[in-house]
Amino acid sequence: MTNSFPIFKKNIFIQRILSIRNSIISYSLASALDIITILIISSIFDRITEINFIGNIYFYIFLTLLLIVIRTVSVFLLRRISFNIIFKKKLKKEKNIVEKYISNRLKNSADDNDLNLFKEKLINSCNLAAVNFDIPIVSIISELIFALGGIIVLLSIFGLKLFLFNLPVFFLLLLFSKFVARKLNNLGKEILKYTEKRLNSIDNVSELAIELSALGDSRNLINYFEKVNKPFNKVLCNQIVTSNMMQIYTESGSFIIILISLICLISNISSTSLANTATSLAVLSRMVPSFTRSISFITQLQFGVPSVVRLSQMNIKKV
């Protein structure tokens, strides 16, 4: 596919996304299954709430519970397959890094920076790229697929009114996510820089530890290590705080969107039936978190972007 479109060959992010396409397909199938399950259950609700309903209601209750169980097991299995694909790819990438490093070690035997870069890629970048880029990408695409299906269902029930009422909340979330994304991107660059320094300081500590232990004075070495270790942990702390801040705001946005939607349902702005009301609640309970999680994952991506760039450099120049 990348050979057919040269622009894909040059863009490292598109290349990485295409490399996890099987994981995306598996995770997205779980979201498609959610939509199908809700529509089937909705049709069951529609049937049993008919005025002239004739049938065994317990059969339909059992069928609904069975569908929920099948959906739960299937979604779990599909997502597990998706994550397994991502980490198998990570394992393969790490093996490739080690092979390239060994094959080029003779040429760079005296290069300490090369050794630190090798350690950083193997210990830090591969992990950050998988957790903060691959998994968010897979999740974003999957969540947006469900959100798109949910929008179609809700449009058929409410029209555009519900979305116009909630539009200001989405705009506020997008504006805030842009600020958080920029901050996470900067933190992602800092964590790469301090990881290299930290690995170098660990090597130095291990080399001098025996000598200083014999002398009984390790204060200078500890202070040296702390100068690197303290900012490293501060960056990690800031990343967690910033990500958590985004999560809190998206949760608050979810509450507001659900509240507005419930008011629309209670006020019956579109004269919906009982079955449609149940469908709307089911879709909203899953769709609103899909939107807000997607926004949160988009900001999380920015922390993984520097790691993806760092890993791509091994394909451009020798390690």
Residues 6+ apart with CB under 8 A from 96: 314
Q: How far apart are CA 146 and CA 34, in angstroms?
A: 7
HSE-up of residue 131 (Cα within 13 Å, Cβ side): 8
- Among 48-62, 75-89, 174-188, 200-214, the range of highest mean pLDDT: 75-89
User: Which position has the token pair 């880029």?
Assistant: 133
pLDDT of residue 276: 65
2 is written with which tokens? 């990348």
Candidates 308, 313, 306, 294; CA nearest to 140 is 294
The 10s digit of each residue's pLDDT in 140-198 is: 888 888 888 877 877 777 767 767 777 787 788 778 777 887 888 888 888 878 887 87
Q: Which residues contact 119 (CB under 8 A, 6 or more apart)?
A: 196, 199
* Backbone conformation region of residue 272, classed left if phi is above 0, alpha if psi is from -120 to 50, else beta: beta
Distance of alpha carbon 319 from alpha carbon 314, whole angstroms: 6
Arch. (CATH architecture) of 6-315? Up-down Bundle (1.20)
Separation between Cα atoms, residue 169 and residue 179, nearest integer Å? 16
8 A C-beta contact, residue 260 and residue 288: no
pTM reported for the whole predicted model: 0.70
Residue-level pLDDT at 85? 92
Give the C-alpha separation, 27 to 242, whole Å: 26
Q: Supply φ then ψ for residue 111, to 5 degrees.
A: -95, 100
**Measured torsion, CA atoms of residues 52, 58, 61, 66, in degrees rounded to the nearest 10:** -140
Amino acid symbol at 94:
E
Distance CA 251, CA 36 (A): 26
CB 10 within 8 A of CB 312: no
Instruction: Kindly state the DSSP code that residue 313 receives in the 8-state scheme.
Output: G
Residue 81 has pLDDT above 90, yes or no: yes
pLDDT of residue 316: 44
Phi, psi at 312, each rounded to 5°: -70, -25
**Domain residues of the chain, as ranges?**
6-315
How far is Cα 184 from Cα 141, in angstroms, rounded to an integer? Answer: 20
pLDDT in tens, 216-243: 666 777 787 788 888 888 887 887 787 7
Chain centroid offset of residue 228 CA: 29
CA–chain centroid gap for 215, Å, is 49
Residues 6, 15: Cα–Cα separation, whole Å: 11
